[in-house]
Amino acid sequence: MPVMIRTIQTAVPPTILYQDQARDVFAAQPGLTRLGQRLIATSFDSAAISTRRTAVEELTLDRTSEDPVFFDANTRLLLSPSTRVRNELFAREAGPLFVEAARRALEACPDLSPADITHVVTVSCTGFYNPGPDYQVVRSLGLNPQTRRYHLGFMGCYAAFPALRAAKSFCEAEPDAVVLVVCGELCSLHVRSSNNPDTIMGSALFADGAAAAVVTARPQSDGGDFPPHPPHLLLDFFETTLTPVGEEAMAWNIGDEGFEMVLGTYVPHIIDDHIVGALEPLLNQDPTLPDAYSEIPHWGIHPGGRAILDRVQHRLELDDAQLAPARRVLRDYGNMSSSTVMFVLKDILEGSGPTADAAGERVCSMAFGPGLTVETALMTLVPGPVPSAVPGSAAVPALEAGR
């Protein structure tokens, strides 16, 4: 059996950031230059974001705190806690988010029990603690204490793909393996007031959220009280590449007052120039794919920002419907670093309906991160029971359109 994502489930903190309110707060901070104020207005208004979620409850305007640490709602001043204080909040708030997303993913597979989970892979780049979220998932969900645990840290927005690739390898090596992949990020811990364009862009884009996937080659059990087969994503191929330029354009560093993002304004141009070359190694793995990118039905693009999505859509000549999942996630949740592309893939999974091709529809997915690194994945969206062969083989003639 091919390796598949059985489900993707998500969890977000309850505190909502409204983009227009956040813009006004950041624009009113003392010490801003006129250029800084203009950059804030432009960055927030052009981000194509309506709402984001944050684990920092103080960031809401709805209530005040007697001893504010991150934000004083009375004076509307953004404060400057140390990296240690920010990481301590990560240690308190990240675990429950990881656990909730993982719990929902396991509950979405009623034929699986906690005892079936063989591996846990967790991902985050916004904080550190140990025992970490991998440990908490095992303990909180009552998994076998011998569950093998792996944590991918500080890789950035593309890290969901190495995690899924590792899960696929585990399942290919052990056909009965069931892997929980959980990405969780609290990016909002690191916002601050600044005149620096990169810092302003991060404040306009980044948010908090977690997403969990169940990856296995085991088909859903039939019979009993289980619901009909839900859609699945077959994990066909993965590739990674570094663009020839861009090392200085995207980075993630640790400072005295939180983690510091570098997201240069030239990043969309780099992606525009090199996206075709980055996709080539992936798409060449399956000669049955059509020549035109637009003929691949689904595109799961990490919405690093509106400009990135615009460049990808234009360069690959995709239509609005193919970018709709990424733009919806950006609008409703912002950029949650490694978790974000999982939200996009969940949107694609849930959007498959009775008109979907029963033999499967291809999904091309990608994310970008420090380096500049481009991670890509080719998947197949199957609306019902999983076929017994991978796409591109003679056993799946409906997918052999010729390339």
Q: In what order do the strands lie in the sheet with 232-242?
A: 148-153, 119-124, 178-186, 208-216, 4-11, 232-242, 373-382, 361-369, 298-301
DSSP H or E run through 123: strand 119-124
Residue 363 · residue 379 · CB < 8 Å: yes
First to last CA, the chain: 25
Q: Across the strands, what pairs with 24?
A: none
Instruction: Indicate whether 66 pLDDT > 60.
Output: yes
Average pLDDT, integer, range 71-93: 96
**Cα–Cα nearest to 386, from 359, 363, 361:** 359
Instruction: Indicate whether 62 pLDDT > 90.
Output: no
**Cα–Cα nearest to 356, from 375, 384, 315, 333:** 384
Average pLDDT, integer, range 103-126: 97
Q: How confident is the model at residue 64 (pLDDT cuts 50, 70, 90)?
A: confident
pLDDT of residue 241: 96
pLDDT of residue 248: 81
Instruction: Indicate whether 376 pLDDT > 90.
Output: yes
- How is residue 52 annotated by DSSP? E
Instruction: Indicate whether 244 pLDDT > 80.
Output: yes
- DSSP string covering 303-342: -S-HHHHHHHHHHHT--HHHHHHHHHHHHHH-B-GGGHHH
Q: How far apart are CA 54 and CA 193, in angstroms?
A: 17
Q: Please, is 397 exposed, middle or buried when counting C-beta atoms within 10 Å of its C-beta (0-12, 13-18, 19+)?
A: exposed
**Cα–Cα nearest to 41, from 30, 28, 53, 50:** 28
Catalytic position from the list 157, 171, 187, 364: 157
Taking only the tens place, the pLDDT of each residue in 85-95 is 999 999 999 99
Query: Is 109 noted as a catalytic residue in this protein?
Result: no
Taking only the tens place, the pLDDT of each residue in 160-211 is 999 999 999 999 999 999 999 999 999 999 999 999 998 999 999 999 999 9
Higher pLDDT, 264 or 285: 285
Q: How confident is the model at residue 392 (pLDDT cuts 50, 70, 90)?
A: very low
Higher pLDDT, 385 or 365: 365
CA distances from 348 to 67, 124, 325, 398 (A): 43, 23, 6, 20
Q: How confident is the model at residue 63 (pLDDT cuts 50, 70, 90)?
A: confident
Q: Which two tokens stand for residue 84?
A: 């240690």
Instruction: Indicate whether 27 pLDDT > 80.
Output: yes
Average pLDDT, integer, range 79-104: 97
Higher pLDDT, 282 or 60: 282
pLDDT of residue 353: 59
Instruction: Indicate whether 390 pLDDT > 60.
Output: no
Average pLDDT, the chain: 91
- How is residue 10 annotated by DSSP? E
Q: How far apart are CA 333 and CA 19, in angstroms?
A: 10
Contacts of 222 (CB under 8 A, 6+ apart): none
Q: Give the predicted TM-score (pTM) of the model.
A: 0.93
pLDDT of residue 1: 83
Q: How far apart are CA 271 and CA 267, in angstroms?
A: 6
Average pLDDT, integer, range 31-47: 97
pLDDT of residue 400: 31
Residue 17 · residue 191 · CB < 8 Å: no
pLDDT of residue 203: 94
Number of C-alpha atoms within 13 angstroms, CB side, residue 301?
Answer: 29
